[in-house]
Structure 1
Amino acid sequence: MHFHRYRSRLWAATTAAAAACLAVTTLTAPAANAEPADNPAWGKELPPTDAPTSRAYDLIVENSDKGYAPRGGECSKEVHARYWAYGPDGKVYPTWHPPKDPSGCTFGHEHGDDPRQSELFSAVDWPTFGYTAEVQRDSSPEYSHRHEDHVGHKVMVVNNDPVREGDDGTSVFPPTNGRILATCDVLLKFHQGTHSADAFTNNVHELIYNNRCTGSNNGQTTEARYTALIPLGRPGGFGGTDCPGPFLGAGFKQVGTAEPADSPSDTKSLGRLITDASCVQAIREGKTHFEPLTGTYVPFGDTDLHEFWFADVTVSTSQLNFNIAPLFYVLNPSRYFDSGKPGNIGRQVDLCYDVNVQGQYCDQVRRQGGQRIAWDDVRSPFNGGLRQFRPGNFTVRNSGPTTVYTDVYGRNASTQPFEGSIKQYFSGNSSNPLYVRGTTKDWAANPSDRIHAPN
């Protein structure tokens, strides 16, 4: 695939979708006790005082930079902590909540789509944020732990997504002709923080992936419910975007040591592609790049300060072949990499006060005038809310048991549970790989939700 051309066309598609917006899983690890009943008081009551809590839940209750720190006028920690669910291990986990509580207060961040909208929700229930990290914490030494921040957990729901013959994802817009091979229902949760330095070095991020595809001709169902800390590229650094290019994935910037230090590497995908200061310099200097949609050279601008996260995941045994190759694309992150700034973090919104940086986002900032807008101000358009989640390639071929156990990284598949394992589910046989399109949306588009970075 020619990714330099793919990026330009992908940008056009996501921009169009954004403009329109603006005018796995049943997982189990071996446990001695049965999973408790679901939480009927979701959003209304705190968990029982004797209920064991996960580290992910503790983080949102404690004072932690990875938890929830409400500002004046935002929902209290107590209100936020009412949104929880039991995990397969019987512990309490944070889960999806709306950007605004029914009482009227807002949380300042969003977690994407309401999972209850999914046709899979009745089967898979609430996503439990941080479950894989908890399994890892309970079964591995401390140096192998991974704890992700709360606001980065994002949910995507698509129902009846048509998969067309010949679609491999290289075109920006889904094909409108061609035989429909299947329709797919997808409910996934992915952790993608785009406000902190975390992803500069850390390549493993939690994915909860549920997908059920039904064939158009024979009605055959292919289904996967999968959760793991998936690697996206190599640990310790990241790849370059198409700004300044010359293409997606050019080069690798080594930054530091990943957390955990023994994080596995993904060498099949392009991994995490993050904007750095060289893109900012290209914008300031008025450098141009070829735009295939117009057939002309256009200058780089603030809409090129984006991030692409690619992955390629496989679970394989003598009887099972499961593969997905998703793309998680963020058009308006609040950060970029700059080794000359504290924590290596540059802020996109600060660039808008440089007359040499042009684009629709900075135009929006400049029109507001008055006091300089901070990176975490609700008025900043760089809040990480405009995303495209593509489930991408999907293959299941399984002639064995539907239940398989893996470690937290989705490796070492076994038909029997083992210490530190997660229960996965794979059913059916794909005659051909399916490409699932997913969705593009601005989840921070509603001004009354008052979404701001960190988000």
Structure 2
Amino acid sequence: MQLHITPNLVQAQTTRQPPPANAKLSSAYGMWTPSQFDTCPKSLHDTYWVYGPDDTVYPTWHPSSDVNPATGQTCTYGHEHGRNPAESRLASWTVPFGYVNEEFARTNSGKTRHEDHVGHKIEFKNDVTVGLPGGGTGPVCQILTKLHQGTHSADAFTNNMHELFYYVSCNNGVQMRWRGMHLFGAAGGFEGTCEGFHNVGTFTPDTSPTLENESLRRIPDKGCLTEAIEQAKQQPYYASDAYYSNYREDWSTGFRHGLYKNGDQYLDHWGQVGFDKGYTKLFNIDSGAYFKVMGPSRYFEPTKPNNLGRRIDMCFIPELAALQGDCINVNNLIKQGIPVTWDHPRSPFKGTYRTVHFDWVTISNNTSNEKWYSNAAGTVIRPQPDASQGITIEQIISRTPFAMYYFGNRESDFNGRGVHAPN
């Protein structure tokens, strides 16, 4: 597969091209359009693409700002996708945004799950001398993840299905390349940071299952606002502590997939409670990774349209306006005549500061087969594809009796020129 991206923007404006006229385009390709704050043309944005495994064109990573070849001037896209995968040692393993969404739609009778473009976020670590259970070090490994992690819309209040890519490769031959729709907690609800579980309502697609897989999305809710205001009234010195610690999002993957056999019967393992691991194991993969976002633009507020409370509105509450640095800066800008709305580039609440806890990865494959095929959610896995059962996504699990490696964390603020919510 050819990766149609380059980190060199000067070179990019002369070498990047749109897809061939006869290329098959995915539903995800061309989804983004500029907002009032974005200065790059849509046509330039759509020159960042890759072929997916299905020989279909998908969008992929691009920088937050670019050089417009029509003017020679720097322009902005208004959103970012994390780290540039071209700088990863796994750059040849392409990152087609929306590929699993597309496969899900093809094999599920029109039950679509098309996620927005801006939520796709990439993180990786190169040349990690991994830790081993009980101490010591193991081989040198590469890891790359891509999660659709929107922190701006009402979508994640109800939809638990989000596209996750998980790539690992080590110099001793251990490899994993997994693409799927990961299921974060219960469909139709989410775990509030301050108030516990919220059962919100309908979700898309309406066939999305709820799996007991140790995963969840923890999103700030109204209780966090109440707590921040109360602390500001009673203990102003500590108000910022509650304000900043509560207003983050945690997406815990509980990433686990495996295939076992009982005689001739296949048994799929996705971390469900009560699964009997005494069956004959073919392969098993799991990880303790989770993804944290600081400064999201939203919180859950059931009195607002679509349950969307905008965090920037907190800066106009008297008890908070003069206590938090972010709010002080926002109000100073407004006093200067700059209308800082929730989606303005000068708003500090856009979810660009993220931490990925790669933590540990376990890979075990006791067969001679390295290629497996799964449905979109990874709840059905077989040695051969079967489109009639939705089993179409190729997964790579190296022949490895057992490996458990620790990768640690990585964090960064990906804020860039012109970036704003939704991001």
Amino acid at match of 1:158: K
Alignment partner of 1:150 is 2:150? no
The aligned residue for residue 285 of structure 1 is 230
CA distance in 1, matches of 2:96, 2:49: 8
The aligned residue for residue 316 of structure 1 is 258
1:362 aligned counterpart, secondary structure: helix
- Map Cα deviations across residues 111-154 of structure 1 (whole Å, 9 max, x no partner): 111001111113x1x31000011111211112x21110000001
Equivalent pairs: percent with the same residue? 35
Match of 2:394 among 410, 420, 423: 423
Does structure 2 conserve the Cα–Cα contact (< 8 Å) formed by 1:209 and 1:225? yes
1:431 offset after TM fit, Å?
Answer: 4.3
Alignment partner of 1:403 is 2:371? yes
Match of 1:376 among 343, 346, 355: 343
Q: 1 or 2, which has the higher strand percentage?
A: 2
1:285 aligned counterpart, secondary structure: helix
Where does 1:197-212 land on structure 2 (aligned, <5 Å)? 197-212=154-169
Amino acid at match of 2:17: E
Question: What is the TM-score when the length of structure 2 is the normalising length?
Answer: 0.84
1:266 offset after TM fit, Å?
Answer: 3.3
1:253 aligned counterpart, secondary structure: strand
Where does 1:77-88 land on structure 2 (aligned, <5 Å)? 77-88=42-53
Does structure 2 conserve the Cα–Cα contact (< 8 Å) formed by 1:233 and 1:310? no
The aligned residue for residue 52 of structure 1 is 24
CA distance in 1, matches of 2:348, 2:239: 26
**Compared CA separation, residues 239 and 102, structure 1 to 2 (3 A):** same
1:101 aligned counterpart, secondary structure: strand
Does structure 1 conserve the Cα–Cα contact (< 8 Å) formed by 2:144 and 2:167? yes
2:65 aligned counterpart, secondary structure: coil
The aligned residue for residue 342 of structure 1 is 305
1:382 offset after TM fit, Å?
Answer: 0.4
Where does 1:16-31 land on structure 2 (aligned, <5 Å)? none
Query: Which 5+ residue runs of structure 1 have no aligned equivalent?
Result: 1-35, 61-66, 168-177, 215-219, 245-249, 289-295
CA distance in 2, matches of 1:390, 1:221: 23
**Compared CA separation, residues 361 and 163, structure 1 to 2 (3 A):** farther
Amino acid at match of 1:210: Y
**Compared CA separation, residues 395 and 368, structure 1 to 2 (3 A):** same
- Map Cα deviations across residues 387-412 of structure 1 (whole Å, 9 max, x no partner): 01122331111121010101011121
The aligned residue for residue 266 of structure 1 is 211
CA distance in 2, matches of 1:351, 1:439: 29
The aligned residue for residue 188 of structure 1 is 145
Match of 1:90 among 55, 80, 85: 55
CA distance in 2, matches of 1:280, 1:428: 50
1:298 offset after TM fit, Å?
Answer: 8.1
Q: RCO (CA 8 Å, sep 6+): is it higher in 1 or 2? A: 1
Match of 1:233 among 185, 188, 201: 185
1:81 offset after TM fit, Å?
Answer: 1.0
1:84 offset after TM fit, Å?
Answer: 1.0
The aligned residue for residue 272 of structure 2 is none
1:363 offset after TM fit, Å?
Answer: 3.1
The aligned residue for residue 437 of structure 1 is 408
Does structure 1 conserve the Cα–Cα contact (< 8 Å) formed by 2:5 and 2:62? no
CA distance in 2, matches of 1:266, 1:232: 8
Amino acid at match of 1:261: D
Where does 1:294-309 land on structure 2 (aligned, <5 Å)? 299-309=241-251
CA distance in 1, matches of 2:170, 2:163: 22
Query: Which 5+ residue runs of structure 2 have no aligned equivalent?
Result: 7-11, 69-73, 260-280
Match of 1:114 among 75, 84, 88: 84
Does structure 1 conserve the Cα–Cα contact (< 8 Å) formed by 2:45 and 2:77? yes
1:261 offset after TM fit, Å?
Answer: 1.3
CA distance in 1, matches of 2:362, 2:166: 13
**Compared CA separation, residues 127 and 304, structure 1 to 2 (3 A):** same
1:160 offset after TM fit, Å?
Answer: 2.0
Match of 1:450 among 415, 418, 422: 418
Does structure 1 conserve the Cα–Cα contact (< 8 Å) formed by 2:160 and 2:184? yes
Deviates more, 1:266-275 or 1:334-343: 266-275
CA distance in 1, matches of 2:57, 2:330: 41
1:238 offset after TM fit, Å?
Answer: 0.5
CA distance in 1, matches of 2:398, 2:386: 21
Match of 2:326 among 361, 367, 388: 361
CA distance in 2, matches of 1:262, 1:393: 31
CA RMSD for the aligned pairs?
2.4
Does structure 2 conserve the Cα–Cα contact (< 8 Å) formed by 1:266 and 1:312? no
1:141 aligned counterpart, secondary structure: coil
1:353 offset after TM fit, Å?
Answer: 1.6
CA distance in 2, matches of 1:73, 1:297: 35
The aligned residue for residue 136 of structure 2 is 179
Does structure 2 conserve the Cα–Cα contact (< 8 Å) formed by 1:45 and 1:82? yes
**Compared CA separation, residues 97 and 320, structure 1 to 2 (3 A):** same
Does structure 2 conserve the Cα–Cα contact (< 8 Å) formed by 1:287 and 1:299? no
The aligned residue for residue 171 of structure 1 is none
**Compared CA separation, residues 197 and 297, structure 1 to 2 (3 A):** closer
- Map Cα deviations across residues 400-455 of structure 1 (whole Å, 9 max, x no partner): 101010101112111111103100001143745333223110000x4xx2110010
CA distance in 1, matches of 2:334, 2:326: 14
Deviates more, 1:400-409 or 1:96-105: 96-105
Amino acid at match of 1:329: K
Does structure 1 conserve the Cα–Cα contact (< 8 Å) formed by 2:158 and 2:190? yes
